Amino acid sequence: MKRILLAALLMGTGLSATVASAQEWPSKPIKLVVPYAPGGYTDAVGRITARFLEKELSQTVIVENRAGGGGIVGSDLVSKSPGDGYTLCVCSVGAISIAPVAQTTSYDPLKSFKPISVVSTIPQTVIVNPSLPINSMEDLVKYAKANPGKLTYGSSGAGGLMYFSVALFDARVGTKMTHVPFKGGSPATAAVVSGEVNLSFTNMTDALPQIEANTVRALAVTSASRSEFLPKVATVAETVSPGYAVESWNGIMAPASTPDAIVTKISAALKKMAADPEVKKNMAVAGASTVFTTPAEYTAQIGKEVDQWRTLLKEISDKKT
């Protein structure tokens, strides 16, 4: 029992000591929580970030994978961590902008966190199985309208961006396609290759190698502007659905109670990271563009996205009733 008391005491003093230490931050290893399983795209971004920050801040940065609930478990954990700058999150659009709207989360995307900077963006790519007579977005819309409900699309599961990007597309252009959920984006992409599903709005990381090998046909990217990796591929917005823009991002967020002085320091480091050629090269292999935003821009972006998904969900539920 004495030991436990001693431990509690030590923890208490540890906490109060860190509050005053914004000046000398970082004086101990920083924990970078990746709310997804190791091996995925967010994990890669997290590790690239950790590698750069470690050099830049001359302090160990540990990547900690806390997978679960489509990123909610890890994000939740960070939102409840002490705001001392030693616990950061490699958050992503799914758990921050979509999940709080689509389901109930114990955190509020704008109140529970201090967004610091988006570090990478990655568009979804519309890919179809090459055996289908669909060569463009116009073809896709025509085909889908002629055969309502017949086209199947793979997703990483209900509630994920792959699903919502098609749901938004369906709502905008008036098509109806059948949702086939998979356990993750990678098997969904594989199913387009094997022809088990007809198409998918897949993230660039999974799609790029398959597009290069011609095992799938790329029709468009979902971002507002064309991707640097597939400059010949049009955007959904410029072909069939003006204004359509869905982009997956990963950004560094801190618990809401983190002092501004530390946020500024991290922001400065991330600004340098966005200009680092090696980081850019590594992000490019994952199909991601390296990005920097100020905390204010980041906050505004999340606000905008939350509105977009809230509107879409209302549209969908209105249609159902």
> Is residue 234 a contact residue for another protein (CB under 8 A)?
no
> Is residue 190 a contact residue for another protein (CB under 8 A)?
yes
Residue 265 CA to its chain's centroid (Å): 23
Distance CA 55, CA 30 (A): 12
CB of 286 to another protein, least distance (A): 5
CB nearer another protein, residue 171 or residue 180: 180
CB nearer another protein, residue 42 or residue 241: 42
Question: Smallest Cα–Cα separation from 113: which of 19, 307, 254, 259?
Answer: 254
Distance CA 79, CA 75 (A): 6
Find the binder of another protein among 187, 225, 260, 264 (CB under 8 A): 187
> Is residue 75 a contact residue for another protein (CB under 8 A)?
no
What DSSP element (H or E) covers 256? none
> Is residue 170 a contact residue for another protein (CB under 8 A)?
no
Rg of the chain, C-alpha, whole Å: 21
Q: Which residues of 208-227 are buried (b: 16+ CB within 10 A; e: fewer)?
A: bebbeeebbbbbbbbbeebb
> Is residue 281 a contact residue for another protein (CB under 8 A)?
yes
Q: What is the DSSP-derived secondary structure letter of residue 59? A: S
How many residues of this chain interact with another protein, rule: CB under 8 A?
67
> Is residue 131 a contact residue for another protein (CB under 8 A)?
no
> Is residue 55 a contact residue for another protein (CB under 8 A)?
no
> Is residue 100 a contact residue for another protein (CB under 8 A)?
no
Find the binder of another protein among 65, 79, 81, 293 (CB under 8 A): 65
Q: Contacts by 230-235 with C-beta closer than 8 Å and gap 24+?
A: 230/125, 230/204, 233/125, 234/137
Residue 184 CA to its chain's centroid (Å): 13
Q: Is the peptide bond before 100 cis (omega within 30 degrees of 0)?
A: no
Find the binder of another protein among 197, 219, 252, 254 (CB under 8 A): 197
> Is residue 194 a contact residue for another protein (CB under 8 A)?
yes
Interaction with another protein in 199-228: which residues (CB under 8 A)? 205, 208-210, 212-213, 215
* Chain residues in the site for another protein (CB under 8 A): 3-4, 6-8, 10-11, 14, 31, 37-40, 43-44, 47-48, 50-51, 62-70, 72-73, 76, 102-103, 106, 149-150, 152, 157-159, 178-184, 186-187, 189-190, 193-194, 196-197, 205, 208-210, 212-213, 215, 281-282, 285-287
